Structure 1
Amino acid sequence: MENQTVNEGKAFAIISHLWLIGLIIAIFLNNSKKNSFTSFYIKQSIGINLLLIINKWLVYDMIGSFIGWAFGVVIFILWLISIIGALQGEEKTIPVIGGHFQDWFKNF
């Protein structure tokens, strides 16, 4: 990836990791001038936020708090991998499902 593209999009990519409100802000800020680096991390963040919502509504509430907590820890580790990649200026997909997030949310 071009160094200039990474430098221009790095701040918004990091903002997209600040939960749902940061994601919404990053989507709006990236909407006027599309940056491929920011778009990559917006897609990753959408997926991570969906995992959090699914974990809360399905796993934690319906299956049990211990399993929900365990999945929460896994999701937190995935979030850490993603934000570290954004901080380093590298496009790192999160393991297992990150590539699917890029396909599913290609309009962002």
Structure 2
Amino acid sequence: MQESKPKNNDSLAIVAYITLIGTIVAFFLNRENRNTLVTFHIRQALGLWLLQMVLGYFIGAFDSVMLSTSFWIFFIVLFIYGIFSAVGKKMNAVPILGPFFQKLFASI
């Protein structure tokens, strides 16, 4: 009988940033064998997705191309920063909002 090594699920940190469904999938797959890197990035991604949806609802009501473009660029930059942090296996919080997301979702 072979002993199985604990599965390294660092790739779930990247999956967390790919749509809100990816965040939910990463959350449930990380529950059994908790990985601190994955948990950190799940919190970051969940915060980004939820904030984007809430703010997007209100930004869409203004019907301003300049405001909408600024909104999308802001969130695309934050998501790219988070993805590169996950690829590099680093726990870098996204600028401005990252520490708030870590406190808000500390129970995850």
TM-score higher than 0.5? yes
For normalisation by structure 1, the TM-score amounts to: 0.86
Per-residue CA deviation, residues 32-61 of structure 1 (Å, 9 max, x unaligned), is: 121111000000001110122023211122
* RMSD, aligned α-carbons: 1.6
C-alpha change, 1:106 and 1:63, in structure 2 (3 Å) is farther
Identify unmatched segments of 5+ residues in structure 2: 1-6
Alignment length (residue pairs): 102
Question: Where in structure 1 do 4 or more consecutive aligned residues deviate above 4 Å?
Answer: none
Structure showing the higher helix proportion among its residues: 1
Equivalent position of 2:106 in the other structure: 106
Q: 1:62 Cα deviation (Å)? A: 4.0
Which of 1 and 2 has greater Rg?
Answer: 2
Letter in structure 1 aligned against 2:64: G
Within 5 Å, which residues of 2 pair with 1:47-66? 47-62=47-62, 64-66=64-66
Instruction: Write the distance in 1 (CA, Å) between the matches of 2:67 and 2:82.
Output: 23
Which runs of structure 2 are paired with 1:2-21 in the superposition (5 Å)?
A: 8-21=8-21
Mapped to 2, the partners of 1:63 and 1:106 lie a distance apart of 35
Deviations, residues 56-95 of structure 1 (Å, cap 9, x unaligned): 2111224634312211110110000010000001111011
In structure 1, give the amino acid aligned to 2:49.
N
User: Percent sequence identity over matched residues?
Assistant: 25
Cα distance in 1 for residues equivalent to 2:30 and 2:64: 38
After the TM superposition, which of the residue ranges 38-47 and 57-66 deviates more from structure 2?
Answer: 57-66
Q: TM-score, normalised by structure 2?
A: 0.86
